Chain A
Amino acid sequence: MAEPAYTVASDGETTGEEKSSSSFPEIAIGVDIGTSQCSVAVWNGSQVELLKNTRNQKLMRSYVTFKDEIPSGGVSNQLSHEHELFSGAAIFNMKRLVGRVDTDPVVHASKNLPFLVQTLDIGVRPFIAALVNNVWRSTTPEEVLAIFLVELRVMAEVQLKRPIRNVVLSIPVSFSRFQLTRIQRACAMAGLHVLRLMPEPTAVALLYAQQQQQMIHDNMGSGSEKIALIFNMGAGYCDLAVTATAGGVAQIKALAGSATGGEDLLQNMMRHLLPDSENLFLGHGINEIKLMGLLRVATQDAIHKLSSQDNVQIDVDLGNGSRICKVVNREEFEEVNRNIFEKCESLIIQCLHDAKVEVDDLTDVIVVGGCSYIPKIRDLVKHVCKIEVYKGMNPLEAAVCGAALEGAVASGISDPFGSLDLLTIQATPLGIGIRANGNRFVPIIPRNTTMPARKELIFTTVNDNQTEVLIVVYEGETEKAEENHLLGYFKIMGIPPVPKGVPEINVCMDIDASNVLRVLAGVILPGSQQPAVPVMEVRMPTVDDGHGWCAEALHRSYGSTLDLVTVQKKI
């Protein structure tokens, strides 16, 4: 075995690698790009401060409108009326579309947005376009996010009077590593360097850790460990974490998340009010866009009102001779969205279970995000956790404040009063493993493993004289391999021809301190101490856009000829 082990690495853009920064520490800003709203916060030397745009807003709508020659986003642009957002010229909800293929149900649920989301349902990236002067102008989620991030960056640079490069971004728990690369790409397009991508509830956990520390300083709290459940539901995602906090350290015990949010509540309500709305809208004609916009505004408004009142009068003239005039009460809204609330409840139960935490162990339960204003959401959280909701946080600002704290901590800033004496110990939000045992997903690093992490499993061949095996790497929780997120694939070749089950194929997964995932695979034959072929080291993800059909194509081309199975442990 004289040949050196060789390395297969993906291209640089997907890296989370940090360059050595200059001697003077630049404080990274915290950015929360929500599905519906976004915000920027920064450590100002003594506390976290939210930055405001020229219109004095701390929370800005997340959209980009292509109305004029130069696209403009919600940071700088002023909408003349809410309806302008739904004219087809504005692109929004990008966080629901970024890094998804056109077979994804979340993409399909976006097809009745006023702008164009076209799918071919074959696993390529969806076609997205804005209506500009009666022309569908194409764009991509990354481009929209980048335009938006540039506006946020400029806003922060003007206010902080310094160039901004490093950011800590909060992201949904359920984002795959492939989606993370798309976020990193959008940041790179905007001239920003991602210092850290933080699952949203873990940013909230860090803020909670700081608040608990503060209370000890003020002699109000005890120094013992506190366990909190964080429930964060915005327009696009529902994310949860269980955190164990002591001494300013937030240890993430478990994460759970789903692409379930206010947008789903809204769409269910729209369908309820106008049952054939989806079919009506498929063609994306000018009149239908207008109609849909009217319905959307009215429904959104009604949902907001139902948070504070028991019933609401909806009266919307759809302009084509039809008119919806209806009183909707809160029970009706809750009934229409029953499956969503059930989903939320099951996520809470799952997260507590994964954290091995009983309801009685909880010190606090924190409910944040736009949906936290919905009474049913607060009720169901209270119902499951059996304690009152924590009151010390602004539900719309918690995630961005946590991201800003992480930005300061990760930039090496220390505070004389110990306010930055903080740390988050992260856990993996999704399992990472390979396809084996037929079409099964076999996790190698299970979900909720403390990072950095490294784990290995042994596999073997399924055919006699099998000289190659295909390693297909997935991320997710579902037993069927292809229902998880594909991260990449590679072959191990040159395995000596021996009966099936003889070669030991060791697959090792390593997530380092920068959250970079490497997959190593080696082959050993019994009786030998040396690898039969050079060990493969592959940095993941390696897939690029439109990867949905890859797994299927691989299956069609190779069948089970390159399969592997796990080596059973003895009981």
Chain B
Amino acid sequence: MYKTKKLWTPLSTVVRRALPTTCHLTPYSPNSQIRSSSSRLETSSRVSLSLHYGHDFLGNLKFSAKSFCSQSAAKVDATTKRCWNCDAVAAGMAPFLYCDSCRSIQPVDFSVDYFQIFGLEKKYEIEVDGLEGKYKDWQKKLHPDLVHSKSEKEREYAAEQSARVIDAYRTLSKPLARAIYILRLEGVLVDEEQTVSDPELLTEIMEIREAVEEAMDSQALNQIQSQMKEKLEGSSSSFANAYRSRNFDEAVTCIQKMTYYQRANEEILKKL
């Protein structure tokens, strides 16, 4: 089977809204995946809004490991940030997406990662309950609905910032998406195309698939579903351990497992 996901990024880049005016993409060049720039990550992760369709999600995350390492290493130096509009210096530790002195929305700064947006330490296990409030706080400052009367430039910033915060929220609030994202920040690429080599996992997948297909009633499906949930939680905590001990190979395996359990869950939901 040929790869089904090469078009993702190129097509997305066609939409003008997606493109920060300043970024230069080379989406059609085969090398671009290696020379992946921060803006490219942005475009890819924007597409990953379609987390829903599990199959395309992982495919969007192809970019170079190196660029991420360097990126996350480059700490945001808030003190040197100035508002494009009033030239005020960004204050405090919060990421500078919005100028408090003149209330204007700042252009997207790709060096700010999703954890920083939510004022979180970069770790896998986070308090998901707190995300929604922070997400709403940002939207109250950044949402495009609030800048109708402002310049076209700022409206564009609003559209981009707001979409990025939506992305950040969705990514961080879902364990699998969060796991993939945090590995990405470490420069570890999770490739969906990579065939499952672990025979144990392979057997398990086959068994789950058969069980789902053969399930006669909703009771049986519910039972498999709760099994999947348990397994998901299990691999989620193994991921946390692997990530903490920086065993990224193990972490990738956990992600693979989580992906399969999640897909099985989706299949069950479809049948229910």
Contact = CB atoms under 8 A, between A and B. Distances in A.
Asked if A pairs with B, the answer is yes
B149 interface: yes
A225 B12 contact: no
A412 interface: yes
B144 interface: yes
A522 B11 contact: yes
A569 B54 contact: yes
B152 A20 contact: yes
Contact of A570 (B50, B55, B137, B146): B55
B14 interface: yes
A549 B126 CA distance: 53
Contact of A571 (B132, B143, B263): B263
Given A21-B148, A412-B148, A571-B263, A504 B7 contact: yes
A18 B267 CA distance: 42
A5 B28 CA distance: 13
Contacts of B8: 456, 506
Contacts, number: 145
A520 B14 contact: yes
Contacts of B24: none
A529 B159 contact: no
Contacts of B144: 452, 513-514
B12 A456 contact: yes
Given A246-B133, A423-B139, A571-B264, A412 B15 contact: no
Interface stretch (A144-152, A276-284, A530-538): A530-538
A382 B267 CA distance: 34
Nearest to A251: B136
A45 interface: no
Interface residues of A, number: 54
Interface in B116-140: 132-133, 136-137, 139-140
Interface string A272-303: 00000000000000000000000000000000
Interface in A151-208: 195-196
Interface string B33-50: 000000000000011011
Interface string B129-173: 000110011011001111111111001001100110010000000
A247 B56 contact: no
B55 A506 contact: no
Given A504-B7, A513-B155, A526-B3, A454 B149 contact: no
**Which of A450, A502, A537, A570 is most buried by chain B, counting CB atoms within 10 A of its CB?**
A570
A527 B12 contact: no
Given A248-B140, A526-B2, A452 B162 contact: yes
Given A458-B7, A530-B28, A531-B10, A247 B136 contact: yes
B28 A457 contact: no
A424 B145 contact: yes
Contacts of B82: none
B34 to A, nearest CB: 13
Contacts of B2: 502, 504, 526-527
B239 to A, nearest CB: 21
Nearest to B60: A456
B224 interface: no
17 contacts: A247-B137, A249-B136, A410-B148, A411-B148, A412-B147, A423-B143, A425-B143, A456-B8, A457-B56, A458-B7, A502-B2, A504-B7, A508-B15, A513-B145, A522-B10, A529-B10, A529-B29
Given A246-B133, A412-B146, A423-B143, 17 more contacts: A18-B148, A20-B152, A196-B145, A225-B132, A412-B148, A425-B136, A450-B166, A452-B159, A456-B50, A456-B56, A457-B56, A458-B4, A512-B159, A513-B155, A513-B158, A531-B28, A569-B54
Interface of A: 5, 18, 20-21, 25, 195-196, 225, 244, 246-249, 251, 409-412, 421, 423-425, 446, 450, 452-458, 502, 504, 506, 508, 510, 512-514, 518, 520, 522, 524, 526-527, 529-531, 535, 537, 567, 569-571
User: Which 5 pairs of residues, A with B, have the shortest CB-CB distance?
Assistant: A569-B55, A513-B144, A526-B2, A412-B149, A249-B136
